[in-house]
Amino acid sequence: MVETIKVSAGYGKCQILQGVDFRACRGEVTTLIGTNGSGKSTLLRVVLGFLPFREGDVVIDGISLKKMTGAALARKIAYLPQGKSVPDISAERMVLHGRFPYLRYPRRYGAEDYRIAKAAMEQMGIAEFGHRQMSELSGGMRQKVYIAMALAQQAEVIIMDEPTTYLDIGQQLKFAQMMRRLSEDGKAIILVLHDILLALKLSDRIAALEEGRIARCGTPEEILQSGVLERLYDVKVKSLRLASGVQYFYDIPSMSGDESGAPINF
């Protein structure tokens, strides 16, 4: 479990986070939402140990971040940043990078590292593409490689910043299914998403940030009923329960001013 307790942090004299209480548990997908500048990326940087916090504490599986080494933290958390460049290496080599926190001098991969990397690629269904260069793969396939790298890292927490930015709708749906499977395997998944409908559909819990504070945290339905989405984004979102599950859509007024205009379904 990842937990921030009354965390305050910022850059120089600029305070961004103000007493943030946040929790992400194993077996759940927890999503951070909020407008630009609300503090989402800053919160990630604090949890990852990239940015020191000024007040409060960050606790990972019961251990304070203050007491953890960089290597220990890397074995706990796998991070997939936004806007990753495409390296000129094979998919297998990319996945092997997940084993780096476990390497000892002289930093050479051993048989166990290759076995774990292969198992991660098989889990993601990309073992046959191991020899392919990353530049040759589609955006959706590259995303699977990055997730396999996180699995090879054997971290219990996986953090992703805007992971669906370059994915089409079909790839987004497959990504959502992958995240559900990983959480069901006991991983704690933390996502930052701008796609509100995807966040509602995918998440077990959602934390909405506003001006460096948690404006609301709860289940998708609790977030929907709280009115925080309309306040933050100036949009109305509704839900419809179908046999296939709950569907979320934007309630767009018609051009005639009729408030019951046609919805846009996820």
The answer to whether residues 56 and 7 touch, using CB atoms and an 8 Å cutoff, is yes
Please report the sign of the dihedral spanned by the C-alpha atoms of residue 41, residue 63, residue 31, residue 96. positive
Determine the average pLDDT of the residues in 216-236.
95
Q: What is the pLDDT of residues 93-104, one digit of tens each?
A: 999 999 999 998
For the chain, what's the residue count? 266
Q: Quote the pLDDT of residue 262.
A: 45
pLDDT bin (cut points 50, 70, 90) of residue 61 is very high
Please report the sign of the dihedral spanned by the C-alpha atoms of residue 42, residue 43, residue 46, residue 52. positive
Q: Where are the beta strands (DSSP E) in the chain?
A: 2-11, 14-24, 28-33, 55-60, 63-64, 77-80, 157-161, 188-192, 205-210, 213-218, 237-242, 245-250, 264-265
Under DSSP, is residue 189 helix (H, G, I), strand (E, B) or coil?
strand
Could you give the CA distance from residue 144 to residue 146 in angstroms, rounded to a whole number?
5
Q: What is the pLDDT of residues 194-216, one digit of tens each?
A: 999 999 999 999 999 999 999 99
Give the whole-number percent of the chain exceeding pLDDT 70.
94
Q: Quote the pLDDT of residue 257.
A: 52
In 20-138, which residue ranges form alpha helices assigned H by DSSP? 40-47, 70-76, 91-96, 111-123
Which of 101-115, 137-151, 172-186, 247-261 is predicted least confidently?
Answer: 247-261
Integer CA distances (angstroms), 214 to 4, 20, 185, 207, 217, in order: 11, 6, 28, 7, 7
- In this model, does residue 130 exceed pLDDT 90? yes
Could you give the CA distance from residue 164 to residue 170 in angstroms, rounded to a whole number?
11
Please give the helix or strand (H or E) that residue 139 lies within, else none.
Answer: helix 139-152
Could you give the CA distance from residue 183 to residue 261 in angstroms, rounded to a whole number?
36
Q: What is the pLDDT of residues 5-47, one digit of tens each?
A: 999 999 999 999 999 999 999 999 999 999 999 999 999 999 9
Tokens of 99: 């084993």
List beta partners, residue 157.
Answer: 77, 188
Q: What is the pLDDT of residues 74-93, one digit of tens each?
A: 999 999 988 777 889 999 99
Average per-residue pLDDT for the chain: 91
Beta-sheet pairing, 237-242 with 245-250: antiparallel
Q: Quote the pLDDT of residue 106.
A: 82
Q: Quote the pLDDT of residue 263.
A: 47
Q: End-to-end distance of the chain based on CA atoms, in angstroms?
A: 30
Q: Quote the pLDDT of residue 253.
A: 67
